[in-house]
Structure 1
Amino acid sequence: MITLHHCPQTRSMRTLWLLNEMDVEFQLKLHAFDKSLRDPEYLSLSPAGRVPALEIDGERMFETGAITQYLCERYSPDRLGRPVDDPDRMAWLVWVHFAETISQHTAALTQQHVALREDHMRSPIVMKLEAARIAKCYDALEARLSTPVENRDYLLTSGFSAADISVGQAVYMSRYFVKLDQHPAVAEWYARITARDSFAKSLPTEGGIYEQEFYPPWPIEKV
């Protein structure tokens, strides 16, 4: 049995989306996004006190990139993964792990806008820099998705894969801080992949980190 330890609207959504796309049984264990992730029992699963943590066959995994690679290689090497001899294997690895590049900037903005409650705790410079870095990530995706290659509906020429899930989840989070208005190819791709039932099943039914649909760039005008 697979057990996924999950907090809504965090990186563990990436693994939940992936599992929903696979024909495997799993159970979900929800956690609050709070200090309980530092409890010794949970730290035995994920030593940094982060989600996701995955229990499988008596073993424990953490880090979404590693989890994605393992699950794809074991349960879906050809459809969601790409075998080592596949022409798209190199691109698959790059984009699966590029998701974490986007996520680190989103995490910094989440800290600034959400975790730090008082304005005097926040840094306008950090907010602007991290938002600009997310926009640069969108630029990279735009270049990839607008390349005139036949059937470029997804990140890989060979079709939908876990690379789309990994990056798509990262973009789901980053859109709370940087919109896709200036990146039409990314917006079309994002709409395409998030129309899948597996994405809908990974969305929070209650709770979550973000209380607003969008957090405008700093500074916010005071009335």
Structure 2
Amino acid sequence: MGSSNDEIVFYTHPQSRGRVVRWMLEEIGQPYRVEVMGYGQSMKSPEYLAINPMGKVPAIVHRGVVVTETAAICAYLADAVPAAGLAPALADPLRGSYLRWLFFVAGPVEAAVTARALGQEPPPEKAGFVGYGSYEATIGLLEQIAAKASPWLLGERFSAADVYVGSQILFGLTFKTLPPQPGFLAYAQRLGEREAFKRAAAADDALVAQPAG
């Protein structure tokens, strides 16, 4: 699992959130090395736990730095490769919206969708105890954000926020954890037309299709 200092090493499984990071890697246009991890023994091996003690994918190692958590990896890569133009600079007013929507989806949206899927949403009188409040309010705002994308979350500028937020919407539509609202569907169609998305999906789909053994 060693690497040269500037090499991006990408730990993933083709049927995981690693698909989001694969798309991000294709968007930044830098070479990367893929380490496919198996669920169970491979992800729980001492060697991999030294990289991610959670024993999960995705993770990357770059310049001696380990980054886990899908949204964090997307944000890190955008900043690490500024030439790709996938993150507003610190002085850019768009930086606030960029971070806002990344964290909104990584926090409230993820929590709301998971709670709904597990049938563990709080009763209305306890909604204040959870950061998302209610599934309806959270997903309603997400649909507004998608509907206002023109064509992207930051206007004409595609960013890492579109990779992460867009992936959550694409997954939600596929697995029916999000309603097929017009704003979601139109945004998802635009995302699916990106060449980097197509390359990433094809690479992961090819891995899924490989026989076990």
Pair in the same fold by TM > 0.5: yes
Cα shift at 1:25: 0.9
- Partner deviation per Cα, 1:73-96 (whole Å, 9 max, x = no partner): 120367211111111100100112
Please name the residue that 1:88 is paired with: 94
CA distance in 1 between partners of 2:67 and 2:29 (Å): 20
Q: Does 1:27 align with 2:33?
A: yes
Please name the residue that 2:177 is paired with: 178
Please name the residue that 1:190 is paired with: 188
Please name the residue that 1:42 is paired with: 48
Flag the structure with higher helix content.
2
Pair 1:128–1:34, CA change in 2 (3 A): farther
Contact 2:112 2:138 in 1 (8 A): no
Q: Does 1:155 align with 2:156?
A: no
Please name the residue that 1:73 is paired with: 79
- The correspondence of residues 1-223 of structure 1 with structure 2, limited to 5 A, is 1-76=7-82, 79-101=85-107, 102-106=109-113, 125-126=119-120, 136-147=137-148, 152-175=150-173, 176-181=175-180, 183-203=181-201, 204-205=204-205, 206-207=207-208
Contact 1:2 1:56 in 2 (8 A): yes
Cα shift at 1:5: 0.2
- Partner deviation per Cα, 1:144-169 (whole Å, 9 max, x = no partner): 2334xxx7211112421111100111
Pair 1:137–1:9, CA change in 2 (3 A): farther
Number of residue pairs matched?
Answer: 189
**Higher RCO structure, 1 or 2 (CA under 8 Å, sep 6+):** 1
Residue 208 of structure 2: SS of its match in structure 1? coil
Q: Structure 1: any 5+ residue segments left out of the alignment?
A: 113-124, 209-223
Pair 1:169–1:35, CA change in 2 (3 A): farther
Please name the residue that 1:216 is paired with: none
TM-score (norm 2): 0.76
Report % sequence identity: 25
Q: Which amino acid in 2 is paired with 1:69?
A: A
CA distance in 2 between partners of 1:12 and 1:137 (Å): 24
TM-score (norm 1): 0.73
Q: Which amino acid in 2 is paired with 1:18?
A: M
Moved more, 57-66 or 154-163: 57-66
Q: Which amino acid in 2 is paired with 1:186?
A: F
* Runs of 4+ that moved beyond 4 A: 104-110, 133-136
Cα shift at 1:177: 2.8
Q: Which amino acid in 2 is paired with 1:157?
A: G
